[in-house]
Amino acid sequence: MKKSFALSIILALGLITACTTTEQVPSGQLDVDGPAITSDSLNSNASARFEVYVGASAVRIDASDLDNEVAGSLLLRVYDSNNVLYAQTTSRRYFIAPKPEIFAGAAAPQWITIIPAYSINIPAGSGKMYFEVTNLAADPTQVSVKAVSRAPLPYTNDVFNPTPTDFNGTAIGALIFLGQTDVWRYTGSARVFVSLAGGQTVHATARIVGGGIIKANLEPGESYFGLENGDLIYVQAQGNGATAGFCTNLSGCNDGLDSGEYQLITALP
């Protein structure tokens, strides 16, 4: 009995070690702004993993299914240097933090877009990351992967920039990184209505703070009257940054999708 028990432990540890080693060995090095890499043929549920270094510039990582161009045919996952899952997606429109209840219910749309790539945005300074792509289709496929640097957005340089961006009319923003917080400061002289628009896929929320107190919390489509000079507006994704998306109308984020975009609109009473 003792020998069998010890042998079982050794075998179990061997299996765990083998699985861990397999997961952490990358299939190749993905250079930012370098050439795309085509994976070997991946059978159903097979994965390819690539190492990528994210330095001073934010990076978008793309994967294109070369043989099975259908919605939900790929699963993208990004891990940090400690092999902790950072983000995942099965959608061409947005990506999410690793929360299964969100992933299972909302990640894969029921329609196909004309955008061929699945993408995840990684904030500047993330260091060494691992990018893993899995073939979810029944048939084998090859996958093309690449990493491209992103220009800073005009109103923020990273996931969180405590310096507010001034606005006195309509402001356009986009939540393109997990956990991103945009900070805006109203500089107009009149008391006005402010409304939050957009964010149909990445559900944006806005918190208005003035005089050290929270004056209002807005969901998309809601308005608040009483925005005054100097008031701050904090915009985040619902669920403390559970989702992030893409944009088309701002420099540095020409992804061909607008899932992360939102607007702050002011109007006189």
Residues 180 and 119 occupy one common structural domain: no
Rounded (5°) CA angle 164-95-196: 40
**Residue 257 or residue 158, greater confidence:** 257
- Residue 5: inside a domain: no
Please identify, among 106, 124, 150, the residue that sits at the C-terminal boundary of a domain: 150
Strand partners, 65: 143
- Mind listing the pLDDT tens digit for each residue in 164-213? 999 999 999 999 999 899 999 999 999 999 999 987 778 899 999 999 99
- Residue 98: inside a domain: yes
- Residue 158: inside a domain: no
Please identify, among 125, 150, 175, the residue that sits at the C-terminal boundary of a domain: 150
Residues 204 and 238 occupy one common structural domain: yes
- Residue 1: inside a domain: no
Average pLDDT over every residue of 72-101: 87
**CATH number for the domain that contains residue 54:** 2.60.120.380
Query: Which of 2-16, 20-34, 231-245 comes out lowest in average pLDDT?
Result: 2-16
70: containing domain? 27-150
Please identify, among 150, 180, 209, the residue that sits at the C-terminal boundary of a domain: 150
- Residue 6: inside a domain: no
Residues 31 and 130 occupy one common structural domain: yes
Residues 171 and 99 occupy one common structural domain: no
Residues 186 and 249 occupy one common structural domain: yes
Minimal CA–CA distance to 149: which of 243, 248, 252, 64? Answer: 252
Count CB-CB contacts under 10 A for residue 52.
24
Residues 52 and 143 occupy one common structural domain: yes
User: What is the DSSP annotation of 77-101?
Assistant: EEE-TT--EEEEES-SS-EE-S-HH
CA distance 253 to 266: 24
- What total of structural domains would you count in the chain? 2
Residues 138-151: b if buried by 16+ CB within 10 A, e if exposed: eeebbbbbbbeebe
How much of the chain exceeds pLDDT 70, in percent? Answer: 81
Residues 78 and 183 occupy one common structural domain: no
- Residue 15: inside a domain: no
Residues 94-119: b if buried by 16+ CB within 10 A, e if exposed: bbbbbeeebbeeebbeeeeeeeebbb
Residues 146 and 169 occupy one common structural domain: no
Strand partners, 122: 59
Residues 67 and 138 occupy one common structural domain: yes
Q: What is the pLDDT of residue 3?
A: 41
Average pLDDT over every residue of 153-167: 85
User: What is the DSSP annotation of the chain?
Assistant: -HHHHHHHHHHHHHHHHHHHHHHHS-SEE--BTS--EEPPPB-TT-EEEEEEEE-SSEEEEEEEESS--STT-EEEEEE-TT--EEEEES-SS-EE-S-HHHHHHHSS-SS--S--EEEEEE-TT-EEEEEEEEE-SSS-B-EEEEEEEEPPBTTBSSSB--SPEEESS-EEEE--STT-BEEEEE--SS-EEEEEEE-SSS-EEEEEEETTEEEEEE-TT-EEEEE-TT-EEEEEEHHHH-EE--BSSSTT-B-S--TTEEEEEEE--
Residues 63 and 130 occupy one common structural domain: yes
**CATH number for the domain that contains residue 226:** 2.60.120
- Residue 156: inside a domain: no
Residues 143 and 209 occupy one common structural domain: no
Q: What is the pLDDT of residue 202?
A: 83
- Residue 155: inside a domain: no
Q: Is the pTM of this model over 0.85?
A: no
Residues 142 and 41 occupy one common structural domain: yes
Average pLDDT over every residue of 120-136: 95
Strand partners, 172: 263
CA distance 256 to 201: 15
